[in-house]
Amino acid sequence: MGKTPVTLTLNKAERAGFTDPGENLLNFLRRGLGDLSPKYGCGQGTCGACTVLIDGEPQLSCLVLAETVSGKTVNTTGGLADGAQLHALQTAFMDGFAAQCGYCTPGMLMAAKALLDRNPRPSRDEIAEAISGNLCRCTGYAPIIDAILAATGQQVQG
Amino acid sequence: MAFTIETYATTAEAARAMGADARFLAGGTLVMRDVNAGDQSFTRIIRSTDPALTAIRGTGDGISVGACVTLHQIVANPDLAFLAPVARQVGGPQVRNMGTVGGNLFAPHPYGDFTVALLAIGAKVTTAQGQKPVDDFLRDRDRSGLVTEILIPRPRDPGSFGWHKVSRTKPKGASVMSIAAYLPREGGRIRNVRIAFGAMGGHPLRATGAERALEGQSLDASTIARAAAVTLEGLSPPTDPLASEWYRREVAAVHLTRLLTRMERS
Ligand SMILES: Cc1cc2nc3c(=O)[nH]c(=O)nc-3n(C[C@H](O)[C@H](O)[C@H](O)COP(=O)(O)OP(=O)(O)OC[C@H]3O[C@@H](n4cnc5c(N)ncnc54)[C@H](O)[C@@H]3O)c2cc1C
């Protein structure tokens, strides 16, 4: 079975690799391009741990056929920090203990980033909606919602 | 992974390439699950980059929606505002950015929420064989070939369309059941009523008993009670991990009553 070349912009860098027919984007990013930040949780779209931004929209990389992102822009948690300078969301997650085991965190961060990119001052309900495709089995979600609110500079209540 | 991926520039070529050994890839939220699970029942994955598949355009009394229009595009389109509450309840944000209207037509139980709305509003589906009502399409969807567009009539009064999804987790969860009701009124009487249920059969189904009870009546508490009494006619609810057949039968009338009562009051 022949391999297909894929070129894309990953975290602001031009990248290229070869994908097997039927390979999903998550696999391609992790094994093909060495970006280990998106996580494999369920392979069924249910958990959201593999969430990446494709042309700015949060999508489930485990359900995207890798070759369909040719020519597109993909952003992952691996590209959030600017050198040693963490993204405001990352700092807020750290300060607010919004991660326990941490497996859902990369997906949560990308879902949250997509929200803040189009709505810099979301309400609690809007945040809950934005992360509704991401499962967390440790925190009970409240610290995650608080951290996203804090990252926007809004008062966190209760 | 023994798949070949075929990408076609036009829907006509893609339609010709379809076959028993092929799956069309729209948003992929269901196809890629099968690919990841090592499904061997198909070997070819068909795609099309035809821009017509992702276009939404007005057609006078209706709206033409390309089969690969995403649920997010529906939410964002002011012309389709009456369907936004439906599309907003399909999966989470990621699923809505990927999942398409065409894919929803094929989604197995308990999925297919958007199709429930299409069935109630009386949409038509376009394939290589021409146009058919969603009702007919659903009866033999396995043999339909490529769907290119969905024609959605514009309700004269957006208030005549109502939607209610019952799920155990919120804001995202698969349907215990979903209900769409289209109750056009003329001179206070309901004319050409259509009520559709999701997750209450192999594919979205019309509640024929409730429709009969509502047709020609005014929408009031006693009409709603008569419709509720025959809710299950035309439906065949299954048992699945979300709910048993017994439970679905018990609560169907309760939820239909809630939806119709909300529509009566607004
Ligand atoms: C986590 C999760 C949550 C979900 N929640 C919901 C929910 O709440 N409600 C709901 O209704 N669904 C839900 N779904 C199911 C699914 O995402 C939606 O039904 C979606 O609309 C399917 O569209 P798609 O484009 O992704 O389909 P695809 O996976 O691309 O295709 C699905 C099927 O339809 C066929 N197909 C697609 N387009 C065409 C076409 N144009 N012509 C011919 N055949 C075609 C494919 O070959 C395939 O057999 C969920 C899925 C996931 C992963």
What would be the CATH architecture of the domain defined by A4-78?
Roll (3.10)
CA of B95 to the centre of ligand 1 (A): 9
Is the full-model pTM beyond 0.90? yes
Cβ of B95 within 8 Å of Cβ of A58? The answer is no
For residue B118 and ligand 1, the question of a CB distance below 6 A is answered with: no
| Separation of CA B160 from chain center | 17
pLDDT at A156: 80
Q: With left for phi above 0 and alpha for psi between -120 and 50, is residue B186 left, alpha or beta?
A: beta
Whole-number pLDDT of residue B255: 98
The reported pLDDT for the residue numbered B8 is 98
B196-223 confidence digits (pLDDT tens): 999 999 999 999 999 999 999 999 999 9
pLDDT score of B61? 87
Superfamily of domain A88-151: [2Fe-2S]-binding domain (1.10.150.120)
Residues B121-168 pLDDT 10s: 999 999 999 999 999 999 999 999 999 999 999 998 999 999 999 999
Instruction: Tell whether ligand 1 has an atom less than 6 A from the beta carbon of residue B87.
Output: no
Question: Exposed, middle or buried by CB within 10 Å (0-12, 13-18, 19+), for A73?
Answer: middle
Residues of chain A with CATH 3.10.20.30: 4-78
Q: Which of B235, B47, B204 is nearest to B141 (CA)?
A: B204
Rounded distance from Cα B28 to ligand 1 centre (Å): 7
Nearest to B137 by CA among B72, B89, B67: B67
Mark yes or no for CB contact B5/A4 under 8 Å.
Answer: yes
Backbone angles phi, psi at B44, to 5 degrees: -115, 135
Candidate of B48, B65, B95 to mutate for ligand 1, largest count of ligand atoms within 8 Å of Cβ: B95
More confident of the two residues A84 and A154: A84
CB B143 within 8 A of CB A101: no
Mean pLDDT of A38-60: 98
Q: Judge whether residue A1 has pLDDT over 80.
A: no
Tell whether A40 is within 8 A of chain B (Cβ). no
